[in-house]
Amino acid sequence: MTKTLKTITMGCRLNSYESDKISKFGNYSSEKDILVVNTCAVTAEAERQARQQIRKARKEFPDAYIMATGCAVELDQKYWNNMPEVDKIIPNKNKLKPSLWGLKPEINNSKAIKEDASHFKPANNDSLKTRAFIRIQNGCNHSCTFCIITKARGDSKSVPTGLIISEIKNIISDGIEEIILTGVDLTSYGEDLPGKNNLGILVKKILKLVPELKRLRISSLDAAEIDQDLLEAFKNEKRLMPHIHLSLQSNDNLILKRMKRRHNSEDAEKLVNDLKEARPDILFGADLIAGFPTENEEAFNNTLNAVKKLDLTFLHVFPYSSRPGTPAAKMPQTPNNLIKERAKKLREVGEHQLQNKLKQCVNTIQNVLIETRDGIGHCENFLVARIKNAKHRKIYKCKIIGIENNMLVGKIYESI
């Protein structure tokens, strides 16, 4: 009997990409519907939410065959395997290899049968989507003292350029207008590939070899460095979107050293200034950790003040979460009430920054990709906008006339 395969995704953009791949594997000959829960382990709260989602799924779909995968599962396979609501676990290395799941695919399910041992086969995207993630690398060669993901994802491994470009060509042929490059550590792209390869060279090749691609976006960057090729691409390639999310975590040099980060506050400031010089309209987001062990008031204020100093618009604030087996877990811990208080302050200043950027965009012209049937989409700088009378999956040049519910409101100036 043919049943469906569905996914529930927790955590990062890489998980979203992988879940999208899993959902394209197709149907299986099975007596039960199959539900794959893709977990996250970046914080203890993320793991708690994953367990909660699985228990909720079991109540809602009592007859489903539930499989758990992702970083939380990878780090404690015994626990997840013994969880009564879970029928089977899938290690990260087998996540995109359905032939190793122990299920029987339908004979005509070519996406499930044809797979590549090292990299991903192209797969068409949902017909309703306008933007798609592309994984260009996985894993990380660094060992930040707070991070447990390197244990779950392994060393950095880059996807060869040819495979990336082939996948992009396949996806945009299905109507995708924007591609977002994602991975665990994009800055390390190409280090393990033969010849001269880096993120900037990859971006230039994509834009040259896929001229029909309307928009290319980079998901996140380490603040330690940016290669000259990427800086040139931001300056010269208008199809490369003016938006970068920075993995900052802190802006206090002592805390950054204790985190074992590769950058200091001066590096972050230089990176932001270099990118602004190359692309004056660029907007920045950042990951920030509140309450890292030993963080005193001065250290916290250095990070808080950096939100305005570095002109950050989109903040992902993580209350510090001690992860077992990490060096930071052995350091003197910040009290939980103080962690929550500092996280709240960071979010408040982040909200203030966002509101300022929204106000600055009123009475300007913005190019907006419409992603929903009710006219909501992203500007090139990643601000969200709702455009009156706009059609889904189209890009419009728009006049911004106001702000509503943390979104820009605009009207069509012309279709692009």
| pLDDT score recorded for residue 413 | 86
Domain boundaries, the chain: 2-113, 131-356, 365-415
Note the Cα 363 to chain centre separation in Å: 31
CATH of 2-113, one of 3.30.470.10, 3.40.1710.10, 3.40.50.1820, 3.40.50.12160: 3.40.50.12160
pLDDT tens column, 83-129: 999 999 999 888 888 777 876 554 344 343 333 323 333 333 444 68
Average pLDDT over residues 132-141: 93
What is d(CA 54, CA 112) in angstroms, rounded to the nearest whole number? Answer: 24
Output the six-digit token pair for 318: 């993580």
Confidence of residue 365 (pLDDT cuts 50, 70, 90): very high
- The domain 365-415 belongs to what CATH superfamily? Nucleic acid-binding proteins (2.40.50.140)
**Bigger pLDDT: 322 vs 19:** 322
Residues forming a β-bridge with 222: 247
Q: What is the pLDDT of residues 295-330, one digit of tens each?
A: 999 999 999 999 999 999 999 999 999 998 999 999
Write the pLDDT tens digit of every residue in 217-270.
Answer: 999 999 887 899 999 999 999 999 999 999 999 999 999 999 999 999 999 999
pTM of the model: 0.85
- 131-356 CATH: 3.80.30.20
Is the confidence at residue 136, as pLDDT, over 80? yes
> What is the residue type of 22?
I
Q: What is the mean pLDDT of the chain?
A: 89
